[in-house]
């Protein structure tokens, strides 16, 4: 009997309170307060009859005031930390580089430029470029550059056969300054355990081995 009485008290709602009930809800009386719960109907195939289920408390009804919905909790602020200092230094030092790349590689200039900046800031594999892009200020300064692992691998493969564009790009810099500079690069496997310049490399035939990358710079007049 006590249980039945408690249930009747739970669902007993006086008419002045019912008048403020929103559609699609039910009112529950608890400790002198009238809580409003959203409900939805469904058909119970096992019981062969329609039923309803609660979707959570939507607010309260106050006598003399009416229905007051729950306050929505504000979404937690999301903070993303990006590196700006080194990125800005590299991009300032390479002013005009993007325009030169656009002349020689019009369809891939943005990917070439962004990938070059990111690789200069850190020794990255193709699969890490997209992650580094999201953490760098480059993604804010040059947004919407697609650099997924497959995308980077694909454009590097296309770039490797664009010899005409490569030659034209290098020639545009060959006459800069008094004598001009010529660059060449290579990598080789190293077994040293103390050399701080050794890192995991990805050159063909030596993937995953400790390697050193070298870039040679020559003044073409004095060699």
Give the C-alpha separation, 133 to 140, whole Å. 9
56, pLDDT greater than 60:
yes
Range name among 37-51, 64-78, 89-103, 131-145 with the lowest pLDDT average: 64-78
* Amino acid 204: pLDDT: 65
Better pLDDT: 1 or 85: 85
- Does residue 57 contact residue 24 with C-beta atoms inside 8 Å? no
Q: Supply the pLDDT for residue 179.
A: 59
- Whether residue 2 is predicted with pLDDT greater than 60 in this model: the reply is no
pLDDT (tens digit per residue) in 117-132:
888 888 777 778 888 8
Mean pLDDT over 195-216 rounds to 73
What's the pLDDT band for 83 if we cut at 50, 70, 90? confident
* pLDDT tens-digit readout, 149-159: 788 888 888 88
Give 177 or 197, the one with higher predicted confidence.
197
The residue ranking higher by pLDDT, 2 or 190, is 190
- More reliable by pLDDT, 37 or 13: 37
**pLDDT value of residue 147:** 85
More confident residue, 3 or 108: 108
> Is residue 21 over pLDDT 70?
yes
Mean pLDDT of 168-196: 71
Q: CB–CB of 111/148 below 8 Å? A: no
The confidence band for 37, taking pLDDT boundaries of 50, 70 and 90, is very high
Task: Name the residue among 186, 190, 184 with its Cα closest to residue 203.
Answer: 186
Sequence-separated (6 or more) residues with CB below 8 Å from residue 201: 187, 189, 207, 208, 209, 210, 211, 213
Is 129 within 8 Å of 152 (Cβ atoms)?
A: yes
Comparing CA positions, the residue from 173, 162, 183, 178 lying closest to residue 99 is: 173
Q: Could you tell me if 184 and 138 are in contact, meaning their C-beta atoms sit under 8 angstroms apart? A: no
Is 70 exceeded by the pLDDT of residue 180? no
Position with higher pLDDT, 97 vs 208: 97
Taking the model in full, what pTM does it have?
0.48
Q: How high is the pLDDT of residue 216?
A: 74
């Amino acid at each position: 009997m006590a249980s039945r009485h408690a249930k009747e008290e739970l669902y007993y709602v006086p008419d002045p309170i019912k008048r403020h009930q929103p559609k699609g809800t039910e009112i529950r009386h608890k400790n002198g307060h009238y809580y409003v719960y959203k409900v939805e109907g469904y058909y119970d195939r096992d019981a062969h009859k329609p039923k309803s289920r609660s979707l959570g408390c939507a607010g309260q009804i106050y006598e003399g005031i009416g229905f007051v919905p729950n306050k929505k909790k504000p979404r937690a602020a999301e903070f993303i930390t990006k590196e700006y200092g080194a990125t800005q230094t590299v991009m300032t030092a390479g002013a005009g580089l993007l325009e030169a790349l656009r002349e020689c590689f019009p369809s891939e200039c943005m990917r070439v430029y962004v990938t070059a900046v990111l690789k200069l800031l850190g020794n990255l594999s193709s699969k890490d470029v997209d992650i580094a892009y999201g953490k760098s200020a480059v993604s804010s300064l040059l947004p919407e550059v697609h650099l997924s692992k497959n995308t980077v691998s694909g454009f590097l493969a296309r770039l490797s056969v664009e010899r005409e564009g490569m030659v034209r790009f290098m020639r545009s810099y060959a006459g800069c300054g008094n004598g001009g500079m010529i660059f060449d690069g290579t990598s080789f496997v190293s077994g040293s355990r103390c050399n701080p310049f050794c890192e995991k490399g990805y050159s063909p035939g030596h993937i995953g081995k400790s390697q050193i990358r070298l870039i040679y710079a020559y003044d073409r007049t004095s060699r």
